[in-house]
């Protein structure tokens, strides 16, 4: 008997952060996202998460909520294992990237639970832990040192620093973090904060500190400036906000405007598109990182499986590191600088905690 979708629940989820998350484009003190639970007639629940980010995707929580409410009407009565058909529909209607991600990962979750295996196993991969970077927000030198020391003590071997607001202060902060650890890998993320000239100056100033790469130094839509920075930087340049699809990646790669690419499930809109981007980047002989927004262990669990299947080179998946508490039962967790997955099938998420969720459908 073919299983069918009988109900779609939608939740607004808010979780306080233990510290302010500050980057070049703004700051936040809490996580605000949307979670869905797709229920089938056989009693299986698939969970998905949307993280609308205005400065990256031009999407807001209210907009994505309305999309999910409307799209849930389309889902009712359909076979949840027909992911391809549903994904084609999402693409045809130009669905919000984060909303599409929520639906797609919930369907993958159902498929994994139906098969009785974790998503990474469904994709043909193992569940071994992944080394991830720990993020240091923009702050004073004192705040930067405190964050770096905390992450190093917690076992992180890679530190990702947010920069892009003040060139001189950024250089000082990078030097400070390097002084705290000679061995740690250092990633830098400007979140579009610099002009091309500033980015080139920054890259040449911090190269001596052994930097792995500089992420999205200039405006996402300025390919000419990104290419200029790449051609004049002694440090590899990574595109992030510039790439939301395989077509975006292909445009940059053909222009030779970047060394590396950051793939985020929220930007890609589906696991399938994320894999397509990763494979494309590798075909061009370049490296690829899997990243994340501020996100819960639910979305990070899906990103874990994407990392495995896409053979990514770097992982920046600490999106819930500063959550005061996880809003879901199960999913991903962090231990000694590594990302691991709880036992269970699909995404290994058992429920959304009522404490942080407000059901809106």
Q: Give the whole-angstrom CA distance, residue 359 versus residue 361.
A: 6
Indicate if the pLDDT at residue 345 is higher than 90.
yes
Structure tokens at 297: 């262990």
Same fold? 5-117+354-359, 122-351? no
Question: In a 3-state reduction of DSSP, which class is residue 118?
Answer: strand
Residue 234 CB neighbours (<10 A):
11
CATH 3.90.79.10 fits 5-117+354-359, yes or no: no
pLDDT per position as a tens digit, 59-108: 999 999 999 999 999 999 999 999 999 999 999 999 999 999 999 999 99
Q: Which residues of 36-58 are buried (b: 16+ CB within 10 A; e: fewer)?
A: bbbbbeeebbbbbbbbbbeebbe
Mean pLDDT, range 255-269, rounded to an integer: 98
| Farthest-apart Cα atoms in the chain, separation | 65
Residue 287: burial class (beta carbons within 10 Å; 0-12, 13-18, 19+): middle
Give me the residue spans of the domains in the chain.
5-117+354-359, 122-351
Q: Do strands 287-291 and 314-315 pair parallel, antiparallel, or not at all (unpaired)?
A: parallel
Question: In a 3-state reduction of DSSP, which class is residue 212?
Answer: strand
Instruction: Answer for the pair 278, 311: CB distance below 8 angstroms, yes or no.
Output: yes
Instruction: Write the CB contacts of 94 (distance below 8 Å, at least 6 apart in sequence).
Output: none
Averaged pLDDT of the chain: 97
Superfamily of domain 122-351: Enolase-like C-terminal domain (3.20.20.120)
Residue 219 CB neighbours (<10 A):
16
Question: pLDDT category, 25, cuts 50, 70, 90?
Answer: confident
Indicate if the pLDDT at residue 129 is higher than 90.
yes
CA distances from 19 to 36, 194, 270, 298, 352 (A): 27, 25, 30, 21, 23
**Which residue is associated with the tokens 């579009």?**
192
Which residues form the catalytic set?
Answer: 162, 264
Structure confidence at residue 2 (pLDDT): 83
Which H or E element spans position 328? strand 328-330
Whole-prediction pTM value?
Answer: 0.97
Structure confidence at residue 1 (pLDDT): 72
- What is the residue-wise DSSP string for 213-231? EEE--S-TT-HHHHHHHHH
Residue 259 CB neighbours (<10 A):
16
Q: Give the whole-angstrom CA distance, residue 116 versus residue 37.
A: 18
């Amino acid at each position: 008997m073919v299983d069918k979708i009988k109900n779609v629940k939608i939740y607004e989820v808010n979780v306080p952060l233990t510290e302010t998350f500050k980057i070049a484009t703004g700051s936040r003190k809490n996580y605000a996202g949307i979670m869905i639970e797709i229920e089938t007639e056989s009693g299986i629940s698939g969970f998905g998460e949307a993280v609308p980010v205005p400065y990256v995707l031009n999407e807001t929580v209210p907009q994505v909520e309305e999309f999910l409410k409307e799209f849930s009407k389309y889902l009712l009565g359909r076979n949840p294992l027909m992911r391809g058909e549903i994904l084609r529909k999402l693409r045809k209607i130009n669905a919000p990237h984060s909303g599409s991600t929520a639906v797609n990962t919930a369907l993958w979750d159902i498929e994994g639970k139906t098969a009785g295996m974790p998503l990474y196993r469904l994709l043909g991969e193992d569940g071994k832990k992944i080394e991830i970077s720990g993020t240091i927000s923009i702050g004073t030198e004192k705040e930067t040192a405190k964050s770096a020391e905390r992450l190093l003590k917690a076992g992180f071997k890679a530190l990702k620093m947010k920069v892009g607001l003040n060139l001189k202060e950024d250089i000082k902060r990078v030097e400070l973090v390097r002084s705290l650890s000679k061995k740690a890998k250092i990633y830098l993320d400007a979140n579009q904060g610099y002009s091309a000239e500033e980015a080139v100056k920054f890259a040449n100033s911090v190269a001596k500190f052994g930097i792995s790469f500089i992420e999205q130094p200039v405006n996402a839509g300025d390919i000419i400036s990104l290419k200029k920075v790449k051609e004049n930087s002694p440090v590899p340049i990574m595109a992030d906000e510039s790439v939301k699809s395989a077509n975006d990646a292909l445009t940059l790669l053909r222009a030779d405007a970047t060394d590396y690419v950051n793939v985020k499930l929220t930007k890609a809109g589906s696991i399938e598109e994320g894999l397509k981007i990763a494979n494309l980047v590798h075909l061009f002989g370049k490296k690829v990182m899997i990243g994340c927004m501020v996100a819960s262990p639910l979305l990070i669990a899906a990103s874990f499986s994407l990392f495995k299947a896409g053979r990514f080179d770097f992982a920046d998946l600490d999106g819930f590191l500063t959550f005061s508490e996880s809003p879901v039962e199960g999913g991903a967790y962090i231990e000694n600088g590594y990302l691991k997955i709880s036992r269970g099938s699909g995404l290994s998420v058992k429920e959304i905690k009522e404490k942080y969720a407000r059901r809106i459908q």
